[in-house]
Structure 1
């Protein structure tokens, strides 16, 4: 894998809004060719329009990460359109915060499907490609809640993010001599995640996000991991607002 960001092809799931969109814009400004994928095609087209208007290179792909065949199809399409794939950013995620005693199993299922299975499906689609070309970089969005249990209310969310963190480290141990693997663990960041809570914890989440840092801060952390020399693997980056205790 070449050094730096210039010319690399980067696929970002959850790329239509928030952190994914900001990362796409930032990496494109640094010379990457960006493929943004998410469910809402209109949001993706807005991001692509912003990037191309600024002279960057980007394309949109409609994707629901809980559909394994769709994830595979998007990876195949990106390689067909751009000629290769260098970096996969598994960014799509959900964060409905609710005490476990309320037993909202539908929310549990959704977080397991998107946060955990969606990440695994991305790895399943990109890993054979990266191993064949003997280069590649998988970046998984975990959370500070994947290093410390976010409770009360975020117990299941933490469970999914702990899993993403563990999978990232296990994958690094398995393929680290050939590929790069990075786990990004942000604290409160301005994104759509805070909008996923509709239950009794809604006001607590709103208060928590009052100190949120801009998505651009995380985009720069992701860029830092990508732009390192090929023999340097940034394994994990934890970042949070200075005012955030958790």
Structure 2
């Protein structure tokens, strides 16, 4: 497959390595030095684009590629207030879109475990909270993975109506503490506290390789498809 990369930071480079290992060709690399060349990505030269950029550029990158009828896999976070616009664009017959806040197989299993635990904890007198830790280059807080975890918790916790990115206790909100530490790929701790004990589940990433492999698997899955997809579709969870 011919796969384009939009975003060429540490994640983009990790994805490039796995693409080459799996026999794919990198058709185009777009970064901050050549953003205008994204218009050159077309079906005749690119089968799928993998996009990992920042909150300020992700939406424009994604829609530019989709409008050229090229499928997009994206792991960018911090832009999801415009997600419905991308969904409508794809629904109008444009190329497919695959989104995940986290492409790690382990994290997506963790998502399901998190939802199951929240249902078990509902109404049992525990207060829920979360800590997420990432590298200092991560600009958005909380992480997209933390937001997905919070949304999963709210499915099971009837008393929780949202989340707040702070450590302050709020009866109807899940408190998410965000820490940024050098060279931390990603850690997420979900915790339930009562007067008598604490229950905690954690996911700790050891490198970016798991995220990069998941993104490449998503690109292989997306080729030739139309519509909206996510990790549940890829992994059949």
TM-score by length of 1: 0.48
Structure with greater helix percent:
1
- Highest Rg: 1 or 2? 2
Structure with greater strand percent:
2
